[in-house]
C-alpha cells in the first residue's frame, strides 16, 4: 500500500477511536432514552470501524499509531451534558462536522483492497452517511440551524465592525466618540441587512424545497423506480461509485418516506423570522466588542488597541467553542478567525489613512 494511503488509514483509526469515545460520553447514566440508545449504537459502530482500520494496518505490518485522546473535549462534553440537553450537544457537533465519506471514497478508489475489505468499507461509508443524516435531522428538529446563524452572525459583526472602527480611527484619530457612533450606525445597518437577508434566504429556500418535495412525492407515487434512479444519479454525481450508489438507492427505495427525506429533507423546521432574529441579533452582539472601548478612551488611536484586543479575544472564544465541540483543532480554527479579523482591520486602517490624506479629512 502506498505510504500516503497508510497515513490515511492511521488517521482514520485515530478519528474513529475518538468518535467512539465522544458518543460513548454522551450516553446518560440511566441509558433508557431513545437518544441514549442511538448514542450507544453509533459509539459501537465507530468502535467497529476502528477495528477495521486496525486490522488493515496490522495486515500491512504497520505499527498502530498512538491515539491521542482529546481529553479536553471529553471533559467539556461531560460538563455540558449536566446543564444542556444532550440532543442539543449532538446537534452542536454538526456545526463543524467534516464528512469522512469523501476521504473514505478516495481510499476505496485508490487502495488495493480485496473483496472482503471492499464490502466492509462500503458498509462503513453507509454508516457514515447514516450518521450525517441523523445529525442533520436532529439539528433540524431542534432548530439548531439557528445556532449556526448566531455563530456566523456574531463572527461577521466582529470582523466587519472591527474593520470599520479601525478605518474610522485612521481618519479621526482624536475623536473616539465620533468613531463609536459611526461604528454603531454601521453595525445597526449591517444587522438589519443580515437579518433581512437571512429572512429572504430561508423563506425562498423553503418555498423552493416545498415545491420540489411535492414533485418528488408525486413521482414516488406514480413511478417509484424512476425516483430511485434519480437518487442513484445524485449519489453518483457526488462521487459515490456506481455499484455502491445503486445498492444504496435500491435499499432506500423500499422505504419511500426515507428516500424522500434524503433527496430533500422536510423544511417544516425552517423559520425565517427566527433565523432573521438570530442572525441580526448575533451581529449586533459582535458589534459591541470592537465599539465599546471608544466610549471610554479619550483618543481613537488609544482606543484602537483595546478594540482589537476585545475583538481578538471574542473571535478566539467563539472559534475555540466551535472547534472543541466539532473536533476541529482549536489552533487552526482560532488562527483562521483571528487572522481574518486582524487582516480586515489592517487593510481598513490603511484605506482610512489613504482617504484622510487624499481628501484632507479629520482634524
**Neighbouring residues of 350: CB distance < 8 A, sequence distance ≥ 6:** 170
Q: Give pLDDT, residue 134.
A: 77
Instruction: Report domain extents, the chain.
Output: 3-142, 146-213+272-359
DSSP for residue 174: T
Asked if pLDDT for residue 177 goes beyond 60, the answer is yes
Q: What is the pLDDT of residues 323-361, one digit of tens each?
A: 655 556 667 777 888 888 899 899 999 999 998 888 887
For the ranges 123-137, 170-184, 223-237, the lowest mean pLDDT is seen at: 223-237
Q: Which residues contact 148 (CB under 8 A, 6 or more apart)?
A: 95
Mean pLDDT of the chain: 81
315 pLDDT more than 90? no
Residue 151: predicted pLDDT? 77
28: confidence class by pLDDT, cuts 50, 70, 90: low
Residue 126 in this model has a pLDDT that exceeds 70? yes
CA 308 centroid distance within chain: 26
Residue 267 has pLDDT above 60, yes or no: no
At 179 the pLDDT is 95
The answer to which of 22-36, 184-198, 246-260, 277-291 has the lowest mean pLDDT is: 246-260
Taking residues 56-72, report their average pLDDT: 84
82-91, 122-131, 240-249, 304-313: which range is least confident on average? 82-91
Separation between Cα atoms, residue 38 and residue 94, nearest integer Å: 16
Q: Are the C-beta atoms of residues 85 and 143 closer than 8 Å to each other?
A: no
Which pLDDT does position 152 carry in this prediction? 76
What does the pLDDT read at residue 238? 66
319, 338 Cβ separation under 8 angstroms: yes
Band (pLDDT 50/70/90 cuts) for residue 96 is: very low
Predicted pLDDT at 135: 73
Q: How far is CA 130 from CA 11, 133, 135, 231, in A?
A: 21, 5, 9, 15
pLDDT of residue 97: 47
Alpha-carbon span 26 to 29, nearest angstrom:
9
Query: pTM above 0.75?
Result: no
Give percent above pLDDT 90 in the chain: 30
- Which overall architecture, per CATH, does domain 3-142 show? Up-down Bundle (1.20)
Amino acid at each position: 500500500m502506498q505510504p500516503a494511503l497508510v497515513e490515511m488509514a492511521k488517521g482514520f483509526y485515530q478519528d474513529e477511536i475518538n468518535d467512539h469515545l465522544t458518543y460513548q460520553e454522551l450516553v446518560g447514566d440511566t441509558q433508557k432514552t431513545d437518544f441514549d440508545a442511538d448514542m450507544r449504537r453509533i459509539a459501537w459502530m465507530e468502535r467497529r470501524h476502528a477495528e477495521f482500520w486496525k486490522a488493515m494496518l496490522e495486515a500491512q505490518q504497520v505499527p498502530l499509531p498512538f491515539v491521542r485522546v482529546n481529553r479536553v473535549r471529553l471533559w467539556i462534553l461531560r460538563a455540558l451534558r449536566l446543564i444542556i440537553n444532550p440532543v442539543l450537544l449532538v446537534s452542536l457537533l454538526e456545526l463543524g462536522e467534516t464528512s469522512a465519506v469523501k476521504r473514505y471514497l478516495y481510499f476505496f478508489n485508490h487502495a488495493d483492497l480485496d473483496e472482503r475489505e471492499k464490502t466492509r468499507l462500503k458498509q462503513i461509508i453507509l454508516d457514515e452517511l447514516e450518521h450525517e443524516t441523523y445529525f442533520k435531522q436532529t439539528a433540524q428538529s431542534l432548530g439548531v440551524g439557528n445556532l449556526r446563524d448566531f455563530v456566523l452572525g456574531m463572527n461577521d459583526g466582529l470582523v466587519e465592525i472591527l474593520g470599520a472602527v479601525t478605518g474610522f480611527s485612521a481618519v479621526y484619530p482624536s475623536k473616539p466618540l465620533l468613531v463609536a457612533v459611526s461604528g454603531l450606525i454601521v453595525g445597526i445597518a449591517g444587522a438589519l441587512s443580515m437579518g433581512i437577508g437571512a429572512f429572504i434566504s430561508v423563506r425562498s429556500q423553503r418555498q423552493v424545497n416545498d415545491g420540489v418535495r411535492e414533485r418528488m412525492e408525486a413521482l414516488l407515487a406514480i413511478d417509484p423506480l424512476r425516483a430511485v434512479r434519480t437518487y442513484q444519479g445524485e449519489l453518483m454525481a457526488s462521487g459515490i461509485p456506481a455499484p455502491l450508489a445503486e445498492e444504496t438507492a435500491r435499499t432506500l427505495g423500499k422505504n419511500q418516506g426515507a428516500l424522500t427525506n434524503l433527496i430533500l429533507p422536510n423544511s417544516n423546521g425552517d423559520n425565517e423570522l427566527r433565523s432573521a432574529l438570530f442572525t441580526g441579533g448575533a451581529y449586533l452582539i459582535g458589534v459591541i466588542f470592537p465599539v465599546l472601548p471608544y466610549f471610554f478612551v479619550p483618543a481613537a488611536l488609544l482606543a484602537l488597541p483595546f478594540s482589537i484586543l476585545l475583538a481578538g479575544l471574542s473571535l478566539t472564544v467563539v472559534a475555540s467553542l466551535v472547534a472543541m465541540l466539532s473536533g476541529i483543532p482549536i489552533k487552526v480554527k482560532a488562527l483562521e478567525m483571528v487572522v481574518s479579523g486582524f487582516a480586515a482591520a489592517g487593510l481598513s486602517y490603511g484605506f482610512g489613512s489613504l482617504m484622510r490624506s487624499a481628501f484632507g479629512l479629520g482634524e
